[in-house]
Amino acid sequence: MTPSFLPHVSPARVHAELLGGEQAFPPDRAVARCVTEAAPWWPTAVQGLHRHGARLVAHLAARGLDQFLDLGSGLPCGRQVHQAAAASRPGQRGTRTVYVDRDPHVHTVRRIDLVDQPDAASVLGDITDAQALFEHPAVQELDFRRPVAVLLHDVLPWLPDEAATHLVTELRRRLPPGSVISVTHLLTAPPPYATTPLVRAYREAGIRLWPRDLARIGSWSGTWPAYTHGQHTGGGPLPVCALLLRAPGPGRFTRPAFWSPSRRGAAPGGLPPRRRPRINSRAEVATCAGTR
């Protein structure tokens, strides 16, 4: 039974369940089973994108980025951004990571997790309100005279078009030269990886999801140099993509080596799924609609 103080399905906990975490409650697990039945490839895609995120952070940190703003951070699962960043800069100046999520459960878990971690902070907030986001004291502790890496990993598909476009535009406007924006996103696709049944399964649980095509996602780069990696760019068959944008300014900007087309056939991040939510029975799947 769901504890009364957590009555709703949480997209963050459904996501954690798909990643093989232990934080989900029964309604979240039921939704994870429903969406997996609708799109059996989805947990593999989610896990691949998550590993891609950790890998990209290591890539950026190794190239000198030491400030990370993780928007729509989700629950801690596996190696976290501040850990991946610090591990990639041994013996160098410390890193600073700010996690932001609107889910109070995520914020509580993060705060507990980050006790005694001076290099990271958690913010409870709505990332579509860019003004409030940039005025938050924890975000202002980042030094915006130096480059910042903003992570939008698997969060923009959960925002309507106007909000997603506005957010990326605001980030491009506010970030200093040398900053980067890293995006991962679900693509619209036909069978066998059709996203329509997935969108419908989430909607039945009260969660909206917007897959988009590469042209739409690519348009967010504006005038910034950008690299894309995904279904149509050698990144594998699953309908997901990654986009890396860099604020114009001095210094080299190169495609991450691990985006090489030689990884054809793998999802970004490339490893097999750790655990798939089990579909036990039709009855369990039917509970999906009752979890709103």
Vertex 153 angle, CA 233 and 180, to 5°: 80
Q: How many residues sit in the footprint of ligand SAM (CB under 6 A)?
A: 20
Q: Which of residues 228-287 bind ligand SAM (CB under 6 A)?
A: none
Return the number of other C-beta atoms located less than 10 Å from residue 207's C-beta.
Answer: 17
Nearer residue to ligand SAM within complex by CB, 17 or 101:
101
Q: x-or-dash pattern for ligand SAM, window 183-222, by CB under 6 A? A: ----------------------------------------
Instruction: Compute the least distance from the CB of residue 127 to ligand SAM, in Å.
Output: 4
Q: x-or-dash pattern for ligand SAM, window 68-87, by CB under 6 A? A: ----xxx-------------
Q: Are 162 and 216 in contact (CB under 8 A)?
A: no
Instruction: Compute the least distance from the CB of residue 149 to ligand SAM, in Å.
Output: 13
DSSP secondary structure code for residue 35 in this structure: H
Nearer residue to ligand SAM within complex by CB, 91 or 267:
267
Q: Which of residues 96-155 bind ligand SAM (CB under 6 A)?
A: 101-103, 106, 126-128, 153-155
Instruction: Compute the least distance from the CB of residue 11 to ligand SAM, in Å.
Output: 5
Instruction: Compute the least distance from the CB of residue 94 to ligand SAM, in Å.
Output: 23
Q: Are 27 and 12 in contact (CB under 8 A)?
A: no
Instruction: Compute the least distance from the CB of residue 269 to ligand SAM, in Å.
Output: 11
Instruction: Compute the least distance from the CB of residue 248 to ligand SAM, in Å.
Output: 26
Region for 272 from its dihedrals, namely left if φ exceeds 0, alpha if ψ lies in -120 to 50, beta otherwise? beta
Q: Are 116 and 36 in contact (CB under 8 A)?
A: no
User: Cα 162 from chain centroid?
Assistant: 19
Q: What is the largest CA-CA distance in the chain?
A: 58
Q: Which of residues 2-21 bind ligand SAM (CB under 6 A)?
A: 11-12, 15
Pairing of strands 240-246, 180-186: antiparallel
Nearer residue to ligand SAM within complex by CB, 126 or 141:
126
One residue of 68, 158, 210, 220 binding ligand SAM per CB under 6 A? 158
Residue 187 DSSP SS3? strand
Q: x-or-dash pattern for ligand SAM, window 36-55, by CB under 6 A? A: --------------x--x--
Instruction: Compute the least distance from the CB of residue 83 to ligand SAM, in Å.
Output: 14
Amino acid in the structure at residue 12: A
How far is Cα 183 from Cα 187, in angstroms, rounded to an integer? Answer: 12
Q: Is 257 exposed, middle or buried (0-12, 13-18, 19+ CB in 10 A)?
A: exposed
Residue 144 DSSP SS3? coil
Could you list the residues that contact ligand SAM (CB under 6 A)?
Answer: 11-12, 15, 50, 53, 72-74, 101-103, 106, 126-128, 153-155, 158-159
